[in-house]
Structure 1
Amino acid sequence: MMNTVDIDWKNLGFNYIKTDQRYISYWKAGSWDEGTLSEDNQVHISEGSTALHYGQTVFEGMKAYRTKDGSINLFRADQNAERMQRSCRRLMMPTIPTDVFIEAVRKVVKANEKYIPPYGTGGSLYLRPYMIGIGDNIGVKPAEEYLFSIFCMPVGAYFKGGLTPSNFVVSDYDRAAGNGTGAAKVGGNYGGSLLPGAEAHKRNFSDAIYLDPTTHTKIEEVGAANFFGITEDNKFVTPLSPSILPSITKYSLLYLASERLGLDVVEREVFIDRLDEFKEAGACGTAAVISPIGGIQYKEEFHVFYSETETGPVTKKLYDELTGIQYGDIEAPEGWIIKV
């Protein structure tokens, strides 16, 4: 199907756009129904829904890509399914089997195919699977009913300016508790990040950097993305912590840095007072893909990595390799791409 919607593909941002169909499935009496596509983008739930009161809400972010030959790629959708299952278990919610999850994603992409940005525009179809606790509840306990849904919209670059460096500031706030829900993709993690994010923007930074909640000495996350750094001796380093959300993009970059670029890769503690060990740094995630970090403000010190205006060569190679795989221009590792 050719694109038939009137959208300025080259100037897409990261904004909500209502598309034609979304997938909806309900859990009741211990099992999921068959699921259906709906044109209704309004969610109708009980005022007693646990999602509204006790934070029983998890979500995912993923993308579909139009390739040069016109086919459609899903990138590592099985990893999104598995991460959502882990998030659900953390909040005592039922899980969606991987095959059901992937088939639901396929249905949504096919039903909204005309919204997929054309190859070469840099855009993609962003998919938002989510699950919420619903039903007539009031006590602090897991809901007995749940809603699982997937909607989508065309998006451009998450950070304005695409692959150009951004500056970040270290926040005094914690993103998550040390033994909390940091490794799960739950709504509360993001609600708590709005204030530090707004304070960072007020100071003309792209977002806040969060340190580990226990000692406040180690980098954990960059806004809603994972951190990586390239050391002077060409090691690809990412933080290791039980309160970091395990980014599918990050683990893809770890593999590509090792197998395609021949770098040594390591997950370890990244101390905020040792930034000078890195010649390049970046933030990575599904929405952002890779955002090069120009500099980091920590207390009174501002540390610049490769450049505040230019992307470092290793970061650029990683970006080209990853996006080349996603858009079908570079051969993917086995199992990474699912065709719609």
Structure 2
Amino acid sequence: MVNINWDELGFSYMKTPFRYLSHWKNGEWDEGSLTEDNQLHISESSPALHYGQQCFEGLKAYRCKDGSINLFRMDQNAKRFNQSGSRLMMPHLPEEKFMDAIKQVVLANHEYVPPYGTGGTMYIRPLLIGVGDFMGIGAAPEYIFTVFCMPVGLYFKGGLKPTNFLISDYDRAAPVGTGAVKVGGNYAASLLPGTEAKKRSFSDCIYLDPQTHTKIEEVGSANFFGITKDNQFITPTSPSILPSITKYSLLYLAKERLGMEAIEDDVYLNELDKLSEAGACGTAAVITPIGGIQNGEEFHVFHSEEEVGPVTEKLYNELIGIQFGDIEAPKGWITNLTVEK
């Protein structure tokens, strides 16, 4: 057994024994395999380094009460991974290859999946990068697909309790740029705004739509949702928003499990008083309740700065109950892995 204090896990890198590695060259993928080497060996002229030709994913593995391990909707990660890759002219990765790599990595490192009841999970990072000797501005001649993992705790410290966010003066993405795909450049551009928000004691910043700056689009590291005062679940719609798997799961659960009207629509900054609750959601964040939003000199408080809203709490409990195997999942959402003893 590994010697880890599961109660003190943060959201940081930890080297685990195995990761998956596969190369694309001459128009095809090799078979791929597990390796213990956590260093990628690439050409100094790799397009991933110079021109940002890379994309990634994030998903989690959850320890169930019976000791087995759940993977949550990884087929959706596989689809989104290829959507991101296609936007940057990278080769298609068969979805079965993606999912098989995830399974191999999780099972090879199963001792690092935190025990049931600790609240910890295993975070899994698939990555696709353009490599090879190439100096022109164009698609790389070769590619590396890799998957690594590590045990993690909560992304935002404090667990399920409200935290405050700051409206950013920066734009996250161009109106028809790469905002809807999971590529590194979007996150590099968010470092400065996010750091400035944290210096002012906010958890992160919230970005507005880049064309009019009147509508909420995304939280820096997650999607935004709100609960209206007439019991409607609403999340922003925009071609610049990353299609969060957690967000779409919550849209489904709000409608099918809680009986709410659940929609994607514009969320105007000047209409925040229509919302009784708000939150940020994503694989890393899960659900983070938003206590208040600072917009210039104005500070808008939702349900409470201190208490989690009742609908947000129900959605959180439903979601993590499904992920950890305590609540029946919708068909196709869970892949359960049995660990051989």
Task: Return the TM-score normalized by structure 1.
Answer: 0.99
Indicate the SS of the match to 1:292: strand
Which one of 39, 42, 54 corresponds to residue 57 of structure 1?
A: 54
Alignment-mate amino acid for residue 25 of structure 2: K
Separation (CA, whole Å) in 2 of partners of 1:18 and 1:58: 21
Whether 1:222 aligns to 2:241 is no
Cα offset, 1:223, TM superposition: 1.3
- Please report the RMSD computed on the Cα atoms of aligned residues, expressed in angstroms: 0.5
Indicate the SS of the match to 1:287: coil
Separation (CA, whole Å) in 2 of partners of 1:218 and 1:300: 18
Aligned twin of 1:110: 107
Whether 1:99 aligns to 2:96 is yes
Which one of 309, 312, 323 corresponds to residue 309 of structure 2?
A: 312
Which one of 152, 155, 158 corresponds to residue 152 of structure 2?
A: 155
Cα offset, 1:300, TM superposition: 1.1
How many residue pairs match? The answer is 337
* Alpha-carbon displacement from aligned partner over 1:235-294 (angstroms, at most 9, x marks no partner): 000000000000000000000000000000110010111100000000000000000000
Which one of 315, 329, 332 corresponds to residue 329 of structure 2?
A: 332
Alignment-mate amino acid for residue 233 of structure 1: D
Alignment-mate amino acid for residue 273 of structure 2: D
Whether 1:270 aligns to 2:263 is no
Q: What runs of 5+ residues in structure 1 fail to find an aligned partner?
A: none
Aligned twin of 1:76: 73
Cα offset, 1:70, TM superposition: 0.7
Separation (CA, whole Å) in 2 of partners of 1:119 and 1:57: 34
Whether 1:281 aligns to 2:309 is no
Indicate the SS of the match to 2:308: coil
Q: Percent identity?
A: 69
Runs of 4+ in 1 over 4 A off after TM superposition: none
Whether 1:199 aligns to 2:193 is no
Separation (CA, whole Å) in 1 of partners of 2:321 and 2:92: 32
Cα offset, 1:176, TM superposition: 0.5
Aligned twin of 2:127: 130
Alignment-mate amino acid for residue 275 of structure 1: L
Separation (CA, whole Å) in 2 of partners of 1:243 and 1:264: 24
Whether 1:188 aligns to 2:211 is no
Indicate the SS of the match to 1:192: helix
Alignment-mate amino acid for residue 104 of structure 1: A
Separation (CA, whole Å) in 1 of partners of 2:24 and 2:124: 21
Aligned twin of 2:175: 178
Alignment-mate amino acid for residue 183 of structure 2: V
Separation (CA, whole Å) in 2 of partners of 1:173 and 1:122: 34
Cα offset, 1:131, TM superposition: 0.3
Separation (CA, whole Å) in 1 of partners of 2:188 and 2:279: 23
Aligned twin of 1:302: 299
Which one of 85, 88, 91 corresponds to residue 88 of structure 1?
A: 85
Separation (CA, whole Å) in 1 of partners of 2:297 and 2:157: 27
Alignment-mate amino acid for residue 323 of structure 2: Q
Cα offset, 1:96, TM superposition: 1.1
Whether 1:7 aligns to 2:1 is no
Separation (CA, whole Å) in 2 of partners of 1:252 and 1:322: 8
Indicate the SS of the match to 1:257: helix
Cα offset, 1:135, TM superposition: 0.1
Cα offset, 1:93, TM superposition: 0.2
Alignment-mate amino acid for residue 92 of structure 1: M
Task: Return the TM-score normalized by structure 2.
Answer: 0.98
* Alpha-carbon displacement from aligned partner over 1:277-326 (angstroms, at most 9, x marks no partner): 00000000000000000000011110000111110000000000000000
Separation (CA, whole Å) in 2 of partners of 1:281 and 1:319: 13
Which one of 244, 247, 264 corresponds to residue 244 of structure 2?
A: 247
Alignment-mate amino acid for residue 267 of structure 1: E
Whether 1:29 aligns to 2:57 is no
Indicate the SS of the match to 1:193: helix
Separation (CA, whole Å) in 2 of partners of 1:20 and 1:96: 24
Indicate the SS of the match to 2:179: coil
Aligned twin of 2:164: 167
Indicate the SS of the match to 2:80: helix
Separation (CA, whole Å) in 1 of partners of 2:322 and 2:92: 29
Aligned twin of 1:293: 290
Q: What runs of 5+ residues in structure 2 fail to find an aligned partner?
A: none
